Chain A
């Protein structure tokens, strides 16, 4: 069945890089997403990657996909206090016209 797993917590020092990891089981996953949820807010799509890509970079964000191991990671360079949030890894098959399966979310906290 479809399953997305990620660690629950990550703590990093301000200015360091944060790396949030995720694994998924559905080999038919076509789109892989990273969403951000700040306290009391809805979900915001940060970035996504197609399954035929290995890497995508968008300003401070770098997404790496290892399709063979079904492993996805999100690297946030120069982590700032505003990056404190819960980060959800998610996948969908075919297109956004499909349901999205979310991981449990990784709570990122920033140490001064």
Chain B
């Protein structure tokens, strides 16, 4: 079955960078885009960006594109997101997500989430 397993909790100081991984298994890795979303405490979900894993083509939210990047390692079936120049408002749970094959383009597969806390 499809599994997305993310790396663990991160605590960073303002101005630092964070890199989170999402290990995929149970499907043909290059056949699906991988998305990253985040959820600040008590807030709704916010889409951050996606990578076409097969080609490496990325698309980012305009709100964070200057500080955000997504990469993938097809040999490791792992996608990475990196957020730089961290601010307190970047404190959130970060999720990788993939659409379901049988639900017409909606995010039916999610990682477990990675909590990133930005604090001095």
Q: Do A and B interact with each other, yes or no?
A: no
Residues of chain A having any CB pair with chain B under 8 Å: none
Residues of chain B having any CB pair with chain A under 8 Å: none
